[in-house]
Chain A
Amino acid sequence: MNRHEKLMELPTQRQPVKFYQTGTFTVGNRLLPENLRSVQADIGRTNSLNSGHRACQGCGEALGARYAIDAAMRATDNQLVAVNATGCLEVFSTPYPETSWQIPWIHSLFGNAAAVASGVAAAQRVRGRPHVRVVAQGGDGGTTDIGFGCLSGMFERNDDVLYICYDNEAYMNTGVQRSSATPPGARTATTPALGREPGNVSGTGKNVPLIAMAHRIPYVATASVANLHDLELKVTTAMEFHGARYIHIHVPCPLGWGSLPADTIRIARLAVESGLFPLFEARDGHVSARTPIRRKVAVDEYLKLQKRFAHLFASPAGRERIALIQATADRNIEEFGLLEDEATRG
């Protein structure tokens, strides 16, 4: 039984002996065997992204980056190099000459992280160190807009890189400008809540995980800072493969979303539970697993905690757009089968 299967056994109501109070919902759990606790519960975790970084209070990206890179460090026995695109993560972690990174880390340009990572991976191969693995990481701007060409090239060549996108749905460190990952209706500096259709356009969107799948790369997954065990499982699984891999992590941004810093994980959880951010895995271009919704909520629950959507609640036209957002969530639930019984997972 691998770790994935073991995790899926917990928690269960049918076998009382296997009831563990909080199961794997919490970060750790003193009642669980050590090997079933998360990397983040480990007193000796790497803390790849160290204290003293300049991320805002309650930053979801700082949290997601530590979750993901710590898990990748454990999975590779600490033989890991990270390549970073420009963005919040790069800016807040490495103001010259300080760094928060406790792993080998390189930054080049905004748009070329995937290409640089391909090069680092090639260099490791040439130097006879195939056990040194490469992770590229960036925000949604550096991934879905500016770095998109390089990313697609890395996928198409099937270079041996895990690319992680921390999606906070806009260009945050430059002052909250919209990106191709900004959701419909959201207010940003460049999509103000003005006019007939306030906020971001209700367009057709750009779903990079699905685009990654269209490249038929070996592994694609989505994850959320609200589900740590699921996130760590996906990073760990990704490191079992060689070739191009992609993980898209949903990371709330209190500054850009107009939410309370204390609500970061709550908001990420509501995005998952409403169906707006489906959690799934895909192998060789096909969805192979999805993480079911535990307690379904309406999208209102998610939207109303964020000032960037406040205008939608202020007018009948806004209400209509909320209905569209709800329809998107419902379609996700339908398409990915997010309400199936947990037992059918995998």
Chain B
Amino acid sequence: MDKPFAITLDVGSSLANKTGSWRAQRPLYVDRLPPCNNACPAGENIQHWLYHAESGDYEAAWRALVVDNPLPAIMGRVCYHPCEGACNRGQLDAAVGINSVERFLGDEALHRGWKFDPPAPSSGKKVLVVGAGPSGLSAAYHLRRMGHAVKIVEAGPMAGGMMRFGIPKYRLPRDVLDGEVARIVDLGVELELGRKVSDIHKAMQAEGCTAAFLAVGAHIAKRAYIPAGEAARMLDAVSVLRGMEGDDKPMLGRRVVVYGGGNTALDVARTAKRLGATESIIVYRRTREKMPAHDFEVEEALQEGVLIKWLSTIKNMGDEGTLTVEKMELDDKGFPQPTGEIETLAADSLVLALGQDVDLSLLENVPGLEIKGGVVQVGANMMTGFPGLFAGGDMVPSERTVTVAVGHGKKAARHIDAWLRGTAYVAPPKHEIAAFDKLNAWYYADAPKTVRPMLDLARRTSTFDEVVSGLNETNALFEARRCLSCGNCFECDNCYGVCPDNSVIKLGPGKRFEFNYDYCKGCGICVSECPCGAIMMVPETN
């Protein structure tokens, strides 16, 4: 024995002492569902594409985005961004400007000419899509990427649907729309314009398709009976906005009254201003709070000088351009009731913006369809009552926004793909929501939202230039980095650093971390100090 005096044992490492046996609960890395992703009607993985944008890799961010939505430059302009309403950062300072970053990525892609990843190998199957609006384009894009042949038949002279014939240029410049449509066509989607499908059955047979996706939209203006003299000029919002696409702009006169309270009413009133109207007045029967239009659009319209008469209905229109308007008041249930109080309003034209109906004529010979409230009923898989016939967008029950339509297209594409293979698409279970109380907000640096520059007011009311401009690279990066990465590890190294027992193993950039359960005592500091709520504790079972 050659040990020093009084030493009887060799030096050992404490690694022999597996302190993991003390544990009553264990930490687990999880991916929770960020509230933004959960709120997105198009099912975008927002947190994931922001993650790439944060590091300045905009192409990777764009590629992650278009996995779910092929129209980011359009989305970044016309989406009502429910994601931002759900954003956890809203509880800290202000929601992340997701929509503005999306637009930046979309514009960057158009500017740099990024192309979609090539489609999967051909499946030998073909799908007919009727309607080249957001829903049809989205379905066509997803089906094409899955390897199917796709043909879109569109009744209008150009693709885009309501994005072209409903949304004014000052909100969506046409070169952006054209660019994003062209990229989908470049993927190998066949697009036939100017052909109205009158019988869907025959059209499917003629194209050799066993499955079709219908997305014809809702383009027929709803009417209301308003007694009017012979010389009274009464138009509907759909034809006014559609007329804006042609060479002969609609003649609205100097004093324009728009009847309705939706986004379309605002679009028409703002368009009238730009066409030279000195007065552009919206008449709506309820209050601002009850208005279906989005508040920021109301705000922008008011800034541009559009006047709004709340709690008013139009009784009749006289020959001299005189409108009789009755004041309303809300009853206990919030419904407007007439008061008998009458006033008159001078108007050169009255535009009705009372909603739109669907042209269902192409479905006349299809058995098994259920039509309720003027729209086609579909199942959870977006299929109509007729096998192989799917439908989405404004012609099915929905909120009728571009984003919802794009989401329908994606969802339908997944089910059509499964249907063609003779299987059923089963959506993976949703993760638990990463609510604000799951986060440790201490760790995020303070940073207010970057407000997108607005076009100077004078130019706004006289031209059709885009009202809201985009972010530049610097502030887009700033905005992306305001993301809290709710529920998903962003490799901040906190768990690796704060473990008193060194039982978090760092796997290297992009590979995240894992626990060394031999030594983890289950203290839970990693859970408390994880900024984004990507770790949870579960009881040990044995």
Residues in A lying within 8 Å of B, measured CB to CB: 11, 13, 16-17, 19-23, 25-31, 37-38, 40-41, 43, 47, 49-55, 57-60, 62-63, 66, 93, 96-100, 228, 254, 260-266, 269
Contact = CB atoms under 8 A, between A and B. Distances in A.
B531 A26 contact: yes
Nearest to B9: A97
B54 A265 contact: no
21 contacts: A13-B445, A13-B448, A17-B474, A19-B447, A20-B445, A21-B483, A23-B445, A26-B443, A27-B492, A27-B497, A30-B55, A30-B509, A31-B55, A41-B497, A50-B15, A52-B17, A57-B522, A58-B500, A58-B524, A59-B500, A98-B17
Contacts of A266: 528-529
B359 interface: no
A27 B498 contact: yes
A40 B500 CA distance: 12
B436 interface: no
A268 B529 CA distance: 12
Given A262-B523, A263-B528, A99 B12 contact: yes
Contacts of A63: 498-500, 525
Contacts of A29: 492-493
Contacts of A43: 506, 508
B31 interface: no
B13 interface: yes
Contacts of B444: 21-22, 25
Given A13-B448, A98-B14, A262-B528, A27 B494 contact: yes
A266 B443 CA distance: 12
B474 A16 contact: yes
Nearest to A96: B9
A53 B442 contact: no
Q: Main SS of the interface on chain B? A: loop
A40 B493 contact: yes
Contacts of A100: 13-14
A20 B482 CA distance: 8
Contacts of B22: 57
B443 A62 contact: no
A30 B491 contact: yes
B14 A265 contact: no
B491 A28 contact: yes
A99 to B, nearest CB: 6
B521 interface: yes
A40 B521 CA distance: 20
A16 to B, nearest CB: 4
A50 B502 CA distance: 7
A19 B491 CA distance: 17
B146 to A, nearest CB: 33
Contacts of B506: 43
Contacts of A228: 497
Contacts of A51: 14-15, 19, 501-503, 516, 518-519
Contacts of B521: 57-58, 261
A52 B18 CA distance: 6
B442 A54 contact: no
Contact of A13 (B443, B447, B494, B497): B447
A58 B528 CA distance: 11
Nearest to A101: B14
A28 B512 CA distance: 12
9 closest residue pairs by CB, A with B:
A28-B493, A27-B497, A262-B524, A52-B14, A58-B523, A261-B523, A26-B492, A51-B519, A97-B9
A64 to B, nearest CB: 9
A264 B502 contact: no
Contacts of B502: 47, 49-51, 66
A66 to B, nearest CB: 7
Nearest to B496: A27
B448 A40 contact: no
B504 to A, nearest CB: 10
A41 B519 CA distance: 19
A99 B524 contact: no
Nearest to B448: A13
B15 A52 contact: yes
